[in-house]
């Protein structure tokens, strides 16, 4: 029983960390590579890139963010034996885990509420401009600003979550 539980915990740890790598990787890629370079492209190239790559990139990030949260919660339940009071900030481990979970949840909510919505609306505008070229609507500029700010905040929160989780894992 103990050995099978150990295998389950190990599998859950792997699935959570693997998902988190994908999620953080997509956030880092957008925040440090794609986002800063898009404004340096011509409007036509930027629109085409967003219209063609955006949907897959957004979907990838959505899938891996949900997987990270789901596997993280199941993993947490498994390592605490269902005693979630261990996560309360009454110990160093609990404090670090709580801080990591709050940071991760905040990043996830920012991603779902602002980043994903803004990116999907930008994709629709970019796809429309590919079909009927013309002047980009003003809303695109607002959406691009919202996407830049919210994705930066989300990325910083994800990095904080990783730091807190690593600290907790080392205790």
Is 157 in contact with 104 (CB distance < 8 Å)?
yes
Task: State mean pLDDT over 99-114.
Answer: 94
SS3 sequence, the chain?
CHHHHHHHHHHHHHHHHHHHHHHHHHHHHHHHHHHHHHHHCCHHHHHHHHHHHHHHHHHHHHHHHHHHHHHHHHHHHHHCCCCHHHHCCCCHHHHHHHHHHHHHHHHHHHHHHHHHHHHHHHHHHHHHHHHCCCCCCHHHHHHHHHHHHHHHHHHHHHHHHHHHHHHHHCC
The pair of three-digit structure tokens given for residue 86, joined into one six-digit string: 């261990």
Residue 3 has pLDDT above 80, yes or no: no
Provide the pLDDT for residue 98: 93
Q: pLDDT tens across 16-54, in order?
A: 999 999 999 999 999 899 888 888 888 888 889 989 999
Where do the structural domains in the chain lie, given as residue ranges?
A: 2-169
pTM of the model: 0.87
Spell out the residues 6+ positions from residue 136 whose beta carbon is closer than 8 angstroms to its own. Answer: 43, 47, 125, 129
At residue 147, φ and ψ (nearest 5 deg) are: -65, -45
Task: State mean pLDDT over 97-119.
Answer: 94
Q: pLDDT tens across 44-96, in order?
A: 888 899 899 999 999 999 999 999 999 999 999 998 888 888 888 888 989 99
């Amino acid at each position: 029983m103990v050995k099978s539980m150990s295998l389950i915990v190990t599998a859950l740890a792997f699935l959570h960390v693997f998902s988190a790598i994908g999620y953080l990787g997509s956030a880092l890629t957008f925040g440090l590579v794609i986002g800063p370079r898009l404004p340096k492209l011509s409007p036509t190239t930027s629109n085409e890139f967003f219209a063609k790559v955006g949907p897959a990139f957004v979907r990838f990030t959505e899938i891996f963010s949900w997987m990270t949260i789901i596997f993280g919660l199941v993993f947490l339940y498994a390592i605490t034996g269902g005693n979630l009071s261990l996560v309360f900030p009454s110990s160093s481990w609990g404090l670090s885990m709580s801080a990591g979970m709050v940071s991760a949840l905040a990043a996830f909510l920012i991603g779902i509420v602002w980043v994903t919505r803004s990116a999907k609306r930008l994709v629709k505008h970019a796809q429309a401009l590919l079909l009927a070229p013309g002047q980009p609507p003003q809303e695109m500029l607002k959406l691009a600003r919202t996407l830049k700010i919210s994705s930066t905040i989300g990325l910083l929160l994800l990095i904080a979550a990783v730091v807190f989780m690593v600290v907790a894992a080392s205790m």
